[in-house]
Amino acid sequence: MVSGLLWGDLWPIPLGILSIIIFLCLPDLRLRRARLKRWRWSPNAGLILFAVSLLAGLMATQIIISLSGSGAADIGSLNLRELVIRMLANYVGEVVVLLLVPGLVWGLLMARQAPEDPELVPRSWWQAVLSGIGSLALFLPLVMAVGVVVGIFVYFFSGQQLPEIAHGTLNLLAEASAEADAWFITVIILILLVTPVIEEVLYRGLLQEAIRRCMLTTGDSPWLAIIITSIIFALMHGAVVDLRGLIALFVLSLGFGWIYLKTGRLMASIVMHAGFNGVNLLQVLA
């Protein structure tokens, strides 16, 4: 043991380096040709819809907090029941805005009629699912390696050893795992099934696409849009994760954005997102 760090804890680093090497060997890293269907909305409309959806989720959460009389803001001070209610309020607020936007469903249906590039149609649903699983296998070692490296830097520069679990919700679940109840199971379901769908629709389907089509960020490669979206995605989780978690989520989000554009299907990033959440749950609850 060297300064609180076991050499055995460093094993994700070589795996992360191997993941980078494999990723760099993949074809069309610049993603010059999109497999996406045409988007009938303007970039500004997408950005506004994204912002309004997030705001609606925050407002719904604040209303629930006011009605319940609970002023606790730190997730560590909540119980599972309070966490479930706040998560549901946030999701309902976001989804209601999406569903009430005039022409949203029709726009999605119309967008499915023609691909941007006639020679590159989106992958099939089963190919998207397999791609999501494959991209998770590729990026998971890299995310773990980033977490280890950030932990090392924090330790050597501040002397602080980061906790084993970097996410507040996972900490709460770990503490409650000995007495699992209906609220515990509900949180698991939300994390595995609901969170990936809503977040990928918002961040990849709306935000990333709006940025990708914006005049200031458009170009031969959509990586600028993926990077900007990933920064915002990570920062939006700042209330529930530490520094290590923020940087790891940024790297993970790069994978979400990449596989979405690589396949032309949100299903791929949703599967990857759900798989990552599932792996975290297994690590915490096993």
What's the pLDDT score for residue 118? Answer: 66
pLDDT at residue 59, as a whole number: 94
Q: Which has the closest alpha carbon to 202: 61, 84, 57?
A: 57
- How far from 32 is each of 51, 60, 177, 209, 236, CA to CA, in Å? 27, 39, 46, 14, 28
Quick one: pLDDT at residue 99? 79
- Alpha carbon of 151 to those of 126, 132, 138, 165: distances in Å? 37, 28, 21, 12
Task: Determine the pLDDT at residue 3.
Answer: 47
Q: What is the pLDDT of residue 78?
A: 77
Other CB atoms within 10 A of residue 94 CB: 23
pLDDT (tens place) for every residue of the chain, 286 residues total: 344 455 557 888 999 999 999 999 998 888 877 777 777 677 888 898 899 999 999 999 999 888 876 665 566 677 888 889 999 999 999 998 887 765 555 555 555 556 666 667 788 899 999 999 999 999 999 999 999 998 888 888 877 777 666 667 887 888 877 777 899 999 999 999 999 999 999 999 999 999 988 866 666 678 999 999 999 999 999 888 888 889 999 999 999 999 999 999 999 999 999 999 999 999 888 7
Q: How many CB atoms lie within 10 A of CB 111?
A: 15
**Whole-structure pTM over 0.75, yes or no?**
yes
CA distance 160 to 173: 24
- The answer to whether the beta carbons of residues 256 and 204 sit under 8 Å apart is yes
State the helix-helix crossing angle for 80-100 and 104-111, rounded to 10 degrees.
Answer: 70
Cα gap 7→10, rounded to integer Å = 6
The domain spans of the chain are 19-27+35-285
Closest CA to 103 of 38, 41, 37, 36: 41
Q: Are 204 and 266 in contact (CB under 8 A)?
A: yes
Name every residue whose Cβ is closer than 8 Å to that of residue 45 and which is 6 or more positions away in sequence.
210
Cα 120 to Cα 162: distance, rounded to the nearest angstrom: 45
**Contact between 203 and 229 (Cβ < 8 Å):** yes
Amino acid found at 92: V
